[in-house]
Structure 1
Amino acid sequence: MTKIWWSKFRNFEADFFMRWMLQHLKYREEIVIVKEKRNLKLFEFLTIFTTVVGTMVGVGIYVKNDNGAGHVLNIVQNPYIAIILWIFMGTIVVSLMIVFLEIASSTLKTGNGTVAAWINIFIGRRLASMASLFYIFIYLPVNYGFFAILIVQYVITAAGAELQQSNQLLIFLGCGIFMLALSAYVNSYKRMAGKKVQIYGTFLKFIPLLLVFIALFIPDRIWGVIFNTQNAIPGNGGELPSWNTSFENINGAMILAGFSPIFFAFTGFVYAANMQAETQNKSIVSKAILSGVIFVAFFYALLAAALFLGSKDGSVVGFFEYMFNGFKDIENINPSVRQASILTANVILVMVSFLGLNSYTLIGPNFAHTDINEGLLFFNNKKIKRTTAGILQMLISVVFYIPMVATSILVKNQPTFLYDQISNVASMLDFFLYLVLVIAAVKNRFSKKVSVDKVKTWVFFACSTYAITTLSILCGYSFYNYFTEDAVLAIVFGVIIVVILGIFTINEILLNKSKNNCKNEQLTEINKDKPSKIYKEYKD
């Protein structure tokens, strides 16, 4: 009897032990899964956050803040006004982003987060197609090419090379196309590598920018922009400052015009939302973007102030001259020290420009991939893979790059001339489309045609009212300014409009002839005035 009970006890003990082991293993497996999910969530958050920061904090603050032609200080001619403009633009962008959290929620499940896709849902297919064509044929090629050409320019400047026009043409075309194609290829076929480059590179990029903040504590009280308004700028060939620190002669037109280069510095913040399509934890997309935008807004304002305190012309190169000279008077700086500062600054600018190119080629494929598959653009009734979309965007950008660079060198002998001008125009049009979407989102609050995750009511209306009012004034003045103040800008603006209208007409003809494109038939024939219902039907 005792043996029987003992045997039962041993069996019970073995069974209990096995159950305990299985439960323990299952528990440990669940812990591992939770940790993996947390790690993935953190990685995706950092990818989007750094893409926002990498896209916005880049060449914009480096090349658009100083006294160069068409840059912020050169336009407003007052460092205090320039700092105020950076802060003011930051508040506009934060307000826009809060509204865009609601807009982006309309595509949270499908992941199709492009401006064109949102316009399709909130407004209609035809305007969405026009927006898509603008981004694919103008906006992205401008940014691909601008960052690629800046990489080449900064390498040449760092090397101190003086090139003849023929050599300029050969090097800027060959090397620029190579950099553009290489980055686009990597981010089409090896996207994980591109994402890691963006994450690690963004943190590295902030090291030299953080050095600039030293000027907040050790300002150049002799030659800093804020302190020197009369004496010739050292090392600039006897050039006198074109700025002042007085508020007595503030020109409203100059202030409004000063936003044009700042548009370029802040553009691109919503495009990280395109990464919804390849993000498993879609709930972190809005948090990552908003965190990135707020961070950049504060960062830009402080950085602009530091540059005006610690550099002779508001540039990063000027600050490094001051720093490399031991934060002393730079009037009699040793030529080798000046050369070292120029070399260091341009090496940093090469890295920053490369990260800017990487960020745009990382998000670029999502535009064509989403918009073609949503039926906004004709593609012979076929779906398109993201890799194919990336190569297609690269080819469009190369075709755009060649005449832009060739014309700039042959006509102006300045490789970046046209890209510098058109980048401001493209960025303004980008913000104009944001404005259109914000107005549509406000209208949707009353019509309730599109299902969205609503932002708190008073926050939504406060932010949307502020964004609509400010952007209407800024974009309206920019339209006027581009056609009246500068012949080059007028030509560039006119060419953009003609090109978009021409491609749009061709796209409409092809879409109308395409009888087998079911999605296009839905959007254009069944219920074109109510895209939200179509969207819901297609989504379901």
Structure 2
Amino acid sequence: MLKINKKNKTKNKVFEFLTIFSMVFGLVIGSGIYLKNRDQEGGVLSAAEKNPILALTIWLFIGVLCTFIMLAFIQIASSSKKENHNTIQSWTGKFINRRSASLFAIFYVCLYMPVLASIGAIFTIDTLFKAINVFLEASGNGTFRSKFTKETYVSIQILASTFLLIFFQVINAFTTTPSKIIQTVFTFVKFIPLIAVIAGGLTVYYNHSVEQNSFTENQNVWKVNSVFATVVPVLFAFDGFIYGATLQKDVEHKTVVAPAMMTSIMAVTAFYILITFAIFVGAKDGDVFNLFDTIFKNKPEFSLLFKIIITCTLLTTINGYTTLLPKTIQSAVDEGFIFIGSSKSAMTHKKAALIGSGITLIILLLTIAISLPLTWNDYVNNENTPNYFYVADATSSATAVYAFMIYLSLMIGLLVNYKTKKVEVLYNTRKSFITNIITTFILATALCYLNYDFFINNFMSNNRDKYIQPVSTLISGSLVLLFWVVNEYLIDRNQNGTNGTFKKFNPISWFKINKKQKTSEGK
């Protein structure tokens, strides 16, 4: 709840504006710039086929698109002003139907949040270990990796990642105080290395400290497939901005909501473009960490320091999703979207945290178990280093695509609501209707071709790194659908007993019905 000063309305408006702006800005700027902005499979520069101008154009396009999507979600979120829950599944229940809300809730609980929490833990440890290796090598002390066998080194990384994830799960199951402190402190701290990237990248470029950068390596490729392939990692970096729309529930002056959120998304877009440009002019591979090595090539300890700061800020990803997952489970169970049991007792936070922890750990260990055999003989910089978050990284891109498909369905529901008036929303004007039609059309068109490229083109590729994405997407999506069907059956059975909707899908029921019909005909 936002604490406000009701004695001074002007100061109160300014405070609420700045609060919303800072929270949305801090929420969106995260690990995506480190994880996805690189010249490796799944990264922005790789997807753009080493065309930095294309990459920057896509950053701008998605930023503008997200600004208009945010306008639609400000309207959608306004429908929950009187309810206790203000989540995506809650909005879906209002604008679409309960079954769609259940499907989306299962997606977030069983795939989206567990995958992002898992990759947060894996990427944090991977970043730390790589930072130590580079520092030791630059200092002439060999590498941390060289001191162990491949099996031992990978085992240490996996154990450290698992411990880190469990640590945050346990803390957030019993108290919220550490979570709030970590999120608040590192939301501000994470801008230190990002500002250093901007200053350092531009300095390296203007001082001619590097002979090659991403622009000198530019392949000048402008293929349609490259354009849409570049969209996927950028969507991942922007995903999460929708949660900012939930903040308006606690705002007294509703007039500040739209300007604050639009300003924050535009600021995020400008910041992302500036960071990306600085990285591209300072490094040829688009890698932030390699840029720090270039900036501080004579002072490797400073490079290590900034990488450790980045490692600490990545903790907000683990902390954020291990905090949000139990709340999402509670909300979904309370609203009847997910069936846990016929018991009338309420879903407690600890029980929800336990369920969320179990799902996340299964996702973590399963993706690692699949990744290791696939990458066991891979070499990075002439060193045999298996990529144990290979599948998790590929699946994270899939979750972003799925998430924006959910956003699209809600936006279509909002357009239908203009006619049906089923749900009461704010800003229900002709101008907003036209804006939402245009935004929905652009997003739908982009997602249609994006899915074609993401699934068909990548699947037909002979490149392992490309077809792993659609394969992991189809498998994870199939599991979500399976869980949804089971959940629907349990809800239906709990509400209607054996005479529910699913009875007609049960072959045993068909036999019994036919037998009764024959008996009645015989009489």
1:298 corresponding residue in structure 2: 270
Q: Contact 1:54–1:198 at 8 Å: present in 2 too? A: no
Structure 1 residue 310 corresponds to structure 2 residue 282: yes
- Amino acid in structure 2 at the alignment position of 1:186: I
Matches of 1:385 and 1:223, distance apart in 2: 59
Q: 2:68 is matched with which residue? A: 95
* Greater CA drift, 499-508 or 159-168: 159-168
Q: Secondary structure at the match of 2:205?
A: coil
- RMSD (Å) for aligned C-alpha atoms: 3.1
**1:468 aligns to 2:456 (yes or no):** no
Measured after TM superposition, the shift of residue 435 of structure 1 is: 0.6
Residue 225 in structure 1 maps to residue 198 in structure 2: no
Which residue does the alignment assign to 1:5?
none
Post-superposition CA distance 1:359-386 (Å, at most 9, x none): 2233333211211111011021442133
Distance 1:96 1:210, change over 3 A: same
CA change 1:158–1:39 in 2 (3 A) is farther
Q: Given the alignment, which residue of 461, 464, 467 partners 1:487?
A: 467
Among residues 177, 182, 195, which one is paired with 1:210 in the alignment? 195
1:44 and 1:372 map into 2 onto residues whose CA distance is 32
Deviation at 1:257, TM superposition (A): 0.7
Q: Indicate if the aligned counterparts of 2:6 and 2:12 stay in contact, CA closer than 8 A.
A: no
Query: What is the match of residue 236 of structure 1?
Result: none
Distance 1:50 1:175, change over 3 A: farther
What's 2:515 paired with? none
Q: 1:418 Cα shift?
A: 0.6
Deviation at 1:65, TM superposition (A): 1.3
Bigger drift between 479-488 and 104-113 goes to: 479-488
Which residue does the alignment assign to 2:25? 53
Residue pairs, 1:357-376, within 5 angstroms:
357-376=318-337
Task: Establish whether residue 70 from structure 1 lines up as the match of residue 36 from structure 2.
Answer: no
* 1:133 aligned residue (79, 87, 106): 106
Corresponding position: 1:449 with 2:422: yes
- Are the equivalent residues in 2 in contact too, given 1:47–1:198 (CA < 8 A)? no
SS in 2 for 1:157: helix
The alpha-carbon distance between structure 1 residues 262 and 227, as it changes in their structure 2 partners (threshold 3 A), is closer
Question: Conserved in 1, the CA contact under 8 Å of 2:333 and 2:340?
Answer: yes
Matched ranges for 1:125-204 at <5 A? 125-160=98-133, 161-162=144-145, 163-204=148-189
Q: What's the CA shift for 1:461?
A: 2.4
Q: Provide, for residues 110-132 of structure 1, a one-character-per-residue CA deviation record: whole Å limited to 9, x for no partner.
A: 14222111111101111111111
TM-score, normalised with respect to structure 2? 0.80
CA contact (8 A) 1:148 1:357 kept: yes
Q: Note if 1:507 corresponds to 2:487.
A: yes
What is the identity, as a one-letter code, of the residue corresponding to 1:512? D
Cα distance between partner residues in 2 of 1:389 and 1:262: 31
CA shift for structure 1 position 289: 4.7
Cα distance 1:401–1:58, how it changes in 2: closer, same or farther (>3 A)?
A: same
Residues 32-88 of structure 1 show CA distances to partners (whole Å, capped at 9, x for unaligned) of: 985899999999887765554344212211121121222111121211111111011
Please tell me whether residue 411 in structure 1 is matched to residue 399 in structure 2. no
Query: Between Structure 1 and Structure 2, how many residues are aligned?
Result: 460
Mark the CA change 1:380 to 1:48 in structure 2 (over 3 Å): closer, same or farther. Answer: farther
Cα drift, residue 387 of structure 1: 4.0
Q: CA deviation at 1:168?
A: 4.2
> Aligned partners of 2:348, 2:433: CA distance in 1, in Å?
36
Alpha carbons 2:56, 2:273 under 8 Å: kept: yes
Deviations 1:471-497 (A, max 9, x none): 222221232223321331232122122
Q: 1:494 to 1:228 in 2, by over 3 A?
A: same
Does the C-alpha gap of structure 1 residues 36 and 156 become closer, same or farther in structure 2, counting only changes over 3 Å?
Answer: farther
Moved more, 89-98 or 172-181: 172-181
Deviates more, 1:436-445 or 1:340-349: 340-349
- CA, structure 1 residues 53+165, in 2 after alignment: closer, same or farther (shift >3 Å)? farther
Aligned residue for 1:151, secondary structure, equals: helix
1:201-222 alpha-carbon deviations (Å, 9 max, x no partner): 1111101111222234662544
1:347 aligns with 2:320: no
Q: Which amino acid counterpart does residue 79 of structure 2 have in structure 1?
A: S
Between the aligned partners of 1:406 and 1:324, the Cα distance in structure 2 is: 37
- CA distance, structure 2, for counterparts of residue 59 and residue 318 of structure 1: 16
Q: Which residue of 1 aligns with 2:138?
A: none
User: Unpaired runs of 5+ in structure 2?
Assistant: 134-143, 376-385, 459-465, 503-523
Sort the Cα spacing of 1:489 and 1:392 in 2 relative to 1 into closer, same or farther, 3 A: same
Residue of structure 2 in register with 1:3 after alignment: none
Decide whether the 8 Å contact of 1:371 with 1:377 is kept in 2: yes
Q: Distance in 2 between matches of 1:509 and 1:282?
A: 44
Residues 338-396 of structure 1, C-alpha deviation per residue, up to 9 Å, x if partnerless?
Answer: x4465234313312311222222333332112111110110214421334323322221
Q: Aligned to 1:223, what secondary structure does the other structure show?
A: coil
* Structure 2 contact 52–215 (Cα < 8 Å) conserved: no
Q: Does the C-alpha gap of structure 1 residues 275 and 506 become closer, same or farther in structure 2, counting only changes over 3 Å?
A: farther
**CA deviation profile, 1:299-347 (whole Å, cap 9, x unmatched):** 111111111122232221232233224xxxxxxxx5xx4x446523431
Give, in whole Å, the separation in 2 of the partners of 1:512 and 1:504.
12
Distance in 2 of aligned mates of 1:182 and 1:292: 32
Match of 2:355 in 1: 392
Sort the Cα spacing of 1:142 and 1:47 in 2 relative to 1 into closer, same or farther, 3 A.
farther
How many Å apart are 1:153 and its aligned residue? Answer: 0.8
CA contact (8 A) 1:51 1:198 kept: no
**Structure 1 unpaired stretches of 5+:** 1-31, 230-242, 326-333, 525-540
Determine if contact 1:54/1:355 at 8 Å carries over to the other structure. no
Aligned partners of 2:12 and 2:152: how far apart in 1?
Answer: 48
On the 8 A contact 1:120/1:127 being kept in 2, the answer is yes
Quick one: which amino acid aligns to residue 264 of structure 1?
Answer: F
The code of the aligned residue for 1:477 comes to Y
Deviation at 1:174, TM superposition (A): 2.3
Give the distance between the partners of 1:270 and 1:389, measured in 2 at CA. 23
Q: Percent identity?
A: 28
Query: In structure 1, how many angstroms separate the alpha carbons of the residues matched to 2:12 and 2:320?
Result: 20
* Distance in 1 (alpha carbons) for counterparts of 2:410 and 2:101: 11
